[in-house]
Amino acid sequence: MEIDPFIFRLSIFILSIFIGYYVVWSVTPSLHTPLMSVTNAISSVIIVGAIIAALAGNSENIFNTSSIFGFIAIILAAINIFGGFLVTQRMLQMYKKKKDKKK
């Protein structure tokens, strides 16, 4: 009997939870705020679904009901992607060691 592809996705999911568990515990507490902003940015990879939805409209009717939801989701996710990565970058630039100080 063939294995349902769902099981493979479930396996990826469960294993990723474990990876997440160990990776996140190794994050230094002083970087917990950037951790939150970067997880925010990467979870916006949901834009993939938004793009599919937006492009599903046919050429005569680009903005049908379902693609409109896709287009709005693109804006929301894009705000998050750009905002999330850039604000993380801005924060990380500020973390400096003593020796890096301009004297």
Partner 1 sequence: MISANLAAIFYLVSGILFILALRGLSSPDTSRQGNYFGIAGMIIAIVVTFLSIGNFSTSLVYVVIFLVIGGAIGAFIAFKIPMTAMPELVAGFHSLVGLAAVFVAIAAFLNPSAFNLGNVGDIKLASLIEMSIGAAVGAITFSGSIIAFLKLRGIMSGAPITFSGQHILNLILGIGIFVLIFYLCRTQSTNIFWTVIIISFLVGVLLIIPIGGADMPVVISMLNSYSGWAAAGIGFTLENSALIITGALVGSSGAILSYIMCKAMNRSFVSVILGGFGADNSTDDKKEKKDQKPVKSGNAEDAAFLMKNASSVIIVPGYGMAVAQAQHALREMVDKLKKNDIKVTYAIHPVAGRMPGHMNVLLAEANVPYDEVFELEDINNDFANSDVAFVIGANDVTNPVAKTDPKSPIFGMPVLDVEKCKSVLFVKRSLSPGYAGIDNELFYKENTLMLFADAKKMTEDIVKNLD
In the region spanning residues 33 to 92, those forming contacts with partner 1, defined by CB under 8 A, are: 33-57, 59, 62, 64-67, 69-92
Candidates 1, 3, 97, 103; binder of partner 1 (CB under 8 A) is: 97
The two structure tokens encoding residue 34: 């950037």
Query: Which one, 1 or 59, has the nearer CB to partner 1?
Result: 59
CB 77, CB 50: distance < 8 Å: yes
- Distance of closest approach, residue 59 Cβ to partner 1, in angstroms: 5
Q: Is 31 among the residues that bind partner 1 (CB under 8 A)?
A: yes
Nearest to 34 by CA among 85, 96, 97: 85
Alpha carbon 35 to its chain's center: 12
- Distance of closest approach, residue 26 Cβ to partner 1, in angstroms: 5
Q: For residue 80, give the H/E element and its range.
A: helix 65-94
- Distance of closest approach, residue 1 Cβ to partner 1, in angstroms: 17
